[in-house]
Amino acid sequence: MEALCEFQVLSPTSLAGVLEARTAHPQAQLLGGGTDLVVNIRRGIVAPAVLIDMTGVAELRAIRADAQGLEIGASVRLAEVAQHPGVVAHYPVVAEAAASIAGPTHRNMGTVGGNLCLDTRCIFYNQSQWWRSANNHCLKTTGEICHVAPKSRGVCFATFSGDLAPALMTLDAEVDIQHAAGKRTLPLRDLYIGHARHDGSGQGDGKHYLALQPGEFIAAVRVTSTPGLRSGYDKIRIRRSIEYPVAGVAVALRRVGDTLAHLRVAVTGTNPRPVLLEGTEALCGGALDARVFKGLDELVRDQIMSMKTTFTPGHYRRRVAGVLARRLVQRLFAG
């Protein structure tokens, strides 16, 4: 048997209750479906004394999806997102991403907030206490160096592998961030700070990957509909279910006549953050031709930086992320 970590679970039913619990237990961690966190607790990776169960918070359980917009509370289950007729009809990239996560049991428990904040992963991190104790704990836990990049000088390369984030990022989603004093709104892309730069810019990495301040949490994610937008999600996996993405790609684009009028591409499973490719606007305005694909290749090559954090080599993940992106763009453009 594995060493068992004891924790206390608080189950607030209202937003006020959550804030109260957070004030009382500043070190508490938030619990969604537990499909990742509970496993990590068992592995001794994290040892929170208090968990605040968010799944019963009434204000966070609403989902609204129609031709005007999309708003999903943080405690909405992934299965609900995948099956919601409004999401399927108007925001297919979100429905497809949600439907592709792990397996049915995980989607029935897992929440939108949990998936957006999914802990970054690494083969040196997602291991048992027993394993890590014999392998010099890594930077993301209590160690001094990143075993993936020993010369990284304090930068962690653990990989973000949530599926929902890239999908929502291609729709220019915003997140509502709640804290004791109120609420702030942030573009979803800015939630993820895992740039993993060595330049001392103070940006985050695989260890500090979310732009959340102590006491803050995600209340909802919101999208304003763009008429005529086509979107889709695809990912590489080695088997059909119960697997983190080897690489996942979300694309949203608009076609006007024969012109590519708008393009967003986001990638997961590669960097310490989901990457909304910068520079796709420059590829728009003309036909979908070799120039666009060449440009897209360059953006992937420059911005996707996958390290040996999973059992699949980084260069392969980057390469096939590019292939998936090209295919999705082509398929969506063709309609």
Partner 1 sequence: MNERPSLSGAAPVSFTLNGIARTVVTAPGERLSEVVRRGLGLTGTKVGCNAGDCGACTVLMDGAQVCACMVAARQAEGRSMVSIEGLAELPLGRALQAAFHRHDAAQCGICTPGMLMAAADVLSRHASPDRQTVMDAMGGVLCRCTGYLKIVDAVLDVAQAGLQTKGSGARPGEAVGQRVLRLDGAPKLTGEALYGDDGAPADALWLKAIRSPHAHARFSLGDLAPFLTRHPGIVRVFTAGDVPGENAFGIYPDLKDQPVFGEGIVRHRGEAVLALAGTRAALEAVQIADLPITWEPLPGLHGVQAALAEGAPAIHAGKPDNVLTRGVVACGQPEAARANAAHIAEGTFETSFVEHAYIEPEAGYARRVGDRMEIHACTQAPMMDRDEVARVLGLAREHVRIVPTACGGGFGGKLDVSLQPMLAVAAWHLDRPVRCVYERIESMASTTKRHPARIRARASCDAAGRLVSYELDGDFNTGAYASWGPTVAGRVPVHAAGPYRVPHVRNRARAVYTNDTPAGAFRGFGVPQAAIAHEALLDDLAEQAGIDRLELRHRNALRAGDTTPTGQVLGASAGLVACLDALRPRWQALLSDAAAFNAWSHALRRGLGIGCMWYGIGNTGLSNPSTMRLTLARDGTLTFWNGAVDIGQGSTTVLTQIAADALGLPVSAFRLVVGDTDVTFDAGKTSASRQTFVSGKAAQLAGEALRTRILRLTNAGPGARLDLDGARLIVADGGEQTVVDLAQLPAAGDGIVLEGVGTFDPPTTPLDAKGQGIPYATYGFAAQIASVDVDLGLGTVKVRRIVAAHDVGRAINPALVEGQIHGGIAQGLGLALMEEFIPGRTENLHDYLIPTFGDMPEIEVHLIEDREPLGPYGAKGIGEPALIPTAPAILGAIRHATGVTIRKVPALPHRVHAALAAAGKAVEF
State the nearest-atom distance from the C-beta of 332 to partner 1, in Å.
14
Between 106 and 140, whose beta carbon lies closer to partner 1? 106
Interacting positions 54-73 with partner 1 (CB under 8 A): 55
Interacting positions 76-105 with partner 1 (CB under 8 A): 79, 102-105
Our finding on whether 193 is near partner 1 (CB under 8 A) is no
Our finding on whether 232 is near partner 1 (CB under 8 A) is no
Between 243 and 298, whose beta carbon lies closer to partner 1? 243
CA distances from 82 to 78, 87, 97, 321 (A): 6, 7, 8, 23
State the nearest-atom distance from the C-beta of 185 to partner 1, in Å.
29
Strand ranges in the chain using DSSP code E only, listed in sequence order: 8-10, 29-31, 50-53, 63-65, 69-73, 174-179, 182-187, 217-224, 229-236, 247-256, 259-268, 275-276
Cα separation, 174 vs 187, in Å, equals 4
CA distances from 207 to 1, 108, 274 (A): 28, 27, 14
Our finding on whether 39 is near partner 1 (CB under 8 A) is yes
Our finding on whether 226 is near partner 1 (CB under 8 A) is no
CA distances from 189 to 116, 165, 170, 254, 320 (A): 11, 8, 9, 20, 22
Among 118, 220, 246, 251, which residue interacts with partner 1 (rule: CB under 8 A)? Answer: 246
Between 35 and 177, whose beta carbon lies closer to partner 1? 35
Cα separation, 102 vs 87, in Å, equals 19
CA atoms within 13 A on the CB side of 123: 11
Between 50 and 186, whose beta carbon lies closer to partner 1? 50
Cα separation, 38 vs 46, in Å, equals 9
Our finding on whether 117 is near partner 1 (CB under 8 A) is no
Interacting positions 271-300 with partner 1 (CB under 8 A): 293, 297
Tell me the site size for partner 1, rule CB under 8 A. Answer: 63
Cα separation, 198 vs 200, in Å, equals 6
Binding stretches for partner 1 (CB under 8 A): 1-9, 11, 31, 33-35, 38-39, 41-42, 44, 51, 53, 55, 79, 102-106, 108-109, 123, 126-131, 133-135, 236, 238-244, 246, 293, 297, 311-313, 316, 319-320, 322-324, 326-327, 330
